Chain A
Amino acid sequence: MASEPVARVVAEEVGRWGSMKQTGVSLRYMMEFGSRPTERNLLLSAQFLHKELPIRIARRALELESLPFGLSNKPAILKVRDWYLDSFRDIRYFPDVRSRNDQLAFTQMIKMIKVRHNNVVPTMALGVQQLKKEQCRTRKIPSGFEEIHEFLDRFYMSRIGIRMLIGQHVALHDPDPQPGVIGLINTKLSPIQVAQAASEDARAVCLREYGSAPDINIYGDPVFTFPYVSSHLHLMLFELVKNSLRAVQEQYMNSDKDVPPVRIIVADGAEDVTIKVSDEGGGIPRSGLPRIFTYLYSTAQNPPDLDGPNEGVTMAGYGYGLPISRLYARYFGGDLQMISMEGYGTDAYLHLSRLGDSEEPLP
């Protein structure tokens, strides 16, 4: 535990770094920079991250302390705030990166930071649950919960950015990368292939839960590729297909009618790659649609045991899949739109910017 004077110094540092200007990077820039992972470039990258990461981490630590409705005091939120403070300290106490050895040690250090923060989403979800429980006891849901939604959107978007920067830097150290891959970016990603893989994973989950799973038909140009982060696209498609399968399954489980397949269409345009995931699972009433993008009203089961191991892909789950998928889509300048036809089914449109010129959103 830090002593009083030390804690005060750190708090001052956090205050100082938390108000510095953040610097966004575009997908295209990450690709161009990472295509030549020379020692010099990795050194420059580490020096950039040595400044940029503390700014972003400090900003979030400050926000965590000033949340409305007493959210900041919830035990789970305090835990997350401590993670951010510890990570801030680790980076600030790391000396200047001057040599290759410094750079390798720095990379190890930020790798550890990423691991420390693996469970941020379920832990924040727990904190929100703690707040809800308390608010429900007093039977009051104050109208300002909008603020909390907006905060969570900013917070999780920032987390996506921090983990992208760290992950990209770490991955550039891979001595033997796959052809066409630059760090976390696959310059020749086939959306059809990701759709197939994500669909198989989603069907497996559906089979496990229900004993059967609707078919999935995928349409599009099988040789089309574009640069994108595979794990991001996989996460989003997995989430959307999972939701569609569940809706169709629930709608047709006790019916003898033929189960309509989920349909995925991949379209490549000049500006965007658009992926539509369509189901005939009965749809959502228009009045209920805004809720599917919220955090506070998610029908999440209890977040799992926080001591369990968690991999990257579990950022979704806890009923947060759709809002977080939308953040991933927007991170590189895209978007996720859902339209529903009550009584029929739902269409999800994933727009991914093809040009890669969009700078990271820095809330």
Chain B
Amino acid sequence: MASEPVARAVAEEVARWGGMRQTGLSLRYMMEFGARPTERNLLLAAQFLHKELSIRIARRAQDLDTLPFGLSTKPAILKVRDWYLNSFRDIRYFPEVRNQDDELAFTEMIKMIRLRHNNVVPTMALGVQQLKKDLGGTKAFPPGIDVIHQFLDRFYMSRIGIRMLIGQHVALHDPDPEPGVIGLINTRLSPMLVAQLASEDARAICMREYGSAPDVNIYGDPDFTFPYVTPHLHLMMFELVKNSLRAVQERYMNSDKHAPPVRIIVADGAEDVTIKISDEGGGIPRSGLSRIFTYLYSTAENPPDLDGHNEGVTMAGYGYGIPISRLYARYFGGDLQIISMEGYGTDAYLHLSRLGDSEEPLL
């Protein structure tokens, strides 16, 4: 445990760095920079991250201290805040990065930071649950509680950015990258291919849960590719297809009618790649649609044991899949819209910016 004077010094540092301006990057910039991963460039990148990560981490640590409705004092939230403080200390105590050895050590250090933060989402979810219980359930929510949604959106969006920056830097050290891949960015990502893989994964889950799974039909140009981050797209599509399969399965489980397939359409335009996932799973009433994007009202099962292992893809789950998928979509200038026809089915539209010019949203 840190001593009093040390804790105070760190708190001052956190406040100082948390007040500095953040610098956003665009997908295109990351691609162009990462296309030449020379020693010099990696050094420059490390020096940039040395400052930028400190700013972003400090800002979130401050946020976590000042949440409304007593959220900051919930045990799970305190745990997350400690992770952020520890990571802040690790980065700030790391000496200036001046040569290749420094740079390699720095890269290992931020890799460890990323690992430390693997379980942030389920832990925050637990904190939200703790708050809900304390307040006496959703019926007893005080007015203005929705400000917590906005906080969580900002917080998770920032986390996506921090992990993207770290992940990209680490991946650029790969001595033998796949052709067309720059760090985490696949410059020739085929959305049809990702749709197929995500659908297979989602169908497997549906099979496991229900013993059967509706078909998924995918339409689009199989040769079309564009630059994007594969795990982001996979996560979003997996989530959307999973939801569609579940809705159709629940609707047609006890019916002798044939379950209608989920349909995925991939469209490539000049500005956007748009992917529509359509189901005939009965739809959601218009009055209930806004809830699917919230954190406070999600009907999540209990987050799993925090000592269990968690990989990146479990960022979804806890009922947070849809709001977090939307954050991923918006991270690179896209969006996720969901429209439903009550009594019929739901259409999800994933818009992905093709130009890659959008700067990270920095809140």
Residue positions of A touching B, CB distance < 8 A: 265, 267-272, 274, 276, 283, 285-287, 335, 337, 339-345, 347, 349, 351
- Whether the Cβ atoms of B343 and A268 lie closer than 8 Å is yes
Q: Given the complex of chains A and B, what is the CA–CA distance between A349 and B342 in angstroms?
A: 11
Within the complex, which residue of A276, A341, A343 is in contact with B341, where a contact is CB–CB below 8 Å? Answer: A276
Nearest Cβ in chain B — how far from A262, in angstroms? Answer: 16
- Whether the Cβ atoms of A265 and B341 lie closer than 8 Å is yes
Q: Which residues of B contact A347 (CB under 8 A)?
A: 339, 347
Q: Which residues of A contact B270 (CB under 8 A)?
A: 285, 342-343
- Whether the Cβ atoms of B285 and A271 lie closer than 8 Å is yes
Q: Given the complex of chains A and B, what is the CA–CA distance between A283 and B273 in angstroms?
A: 12
Contact A269-B283, Cβ < 8 Å, known A274-B344, A342-B269, A343-B269: yes
26 contacts between A and B (CB under 8 A): A265-B341, A267-B343, A268-B343, A269-B283, A269-B341, A269-B344, A270-B342, A270-B343, A271-B285, A271-B342, A272-B285, A272-B286, A274-B344, A283-B269, A283-B274, A285-B270, A286-B271, A339-B339, A341-B265, A341-B269, A341-B349, A342-B267, A343-B270, A343-B274, A344-B269, A344-B274
* Chain A contact surface mostly: strand
Contact A274-B342, Cβ < 8 Å, known A341-B276, A342-B274: yes
Residue positions of B touching A, CB distance < 8 A: 265, 267-272, 274, 276, 283, 285-287, 335, 337, 339-345, 347, 349, 351
Q: Which residues of B contact A272 (CB under 8 A)?
A: 285-286, 342
Q: Given the complex of chains A and B, what is the CA–CA distance between A335 and B344 in angstroms?
A: 17
Q: Given the complex of chains A and B, what is the CA–CA distance between A25 and B265 in angstroms?
A: 43
Which among A283, A342, A345, A349 has the highest number of chain B CB atoms within 10 Å? A342
Q: Which residues of A contact B340 (CB under 8 A)?
A: 274
- Whether the Cβ atoms of A285 and B343 lie closer than 8 Å is no
Q: Which residues of B contact A269 (CB under 8 A)?
A: 283, 285, 341-344
Q: Which residues of B contact A343 (CB under 8 A)?
A: 267-270, 274
Contact A283-B267, Cβ < 8 Å, known A339-B349, A341-B349: yes
Contact A287-B271, Cβ < 8 Å, known A272-B285, A339-B349, A344-B265: yes
The 3 lowest CB-CB distance pairs between A and B, nearest first, are A269-B342, A342-B269, A267-B344
Q: Given the complex of chains A and B, what is the CA–CA distance between A285 and B337 in angstroms?
A: 15
Q: Given the complex of chains A and B, what is the CA–CA distance between A283 and B270 in angstroms?
A: 11
Q: Given the complex of chains A and B, what is the CA–CA distance between A221 and B270 in angstroms?
A: 38
- Whether the Cβ atoms of A341 and B274 lie closer than 8 Å is yes
Which among A268, A339, A347 has the highest number of chain B CB atoms within 10 Å? A339
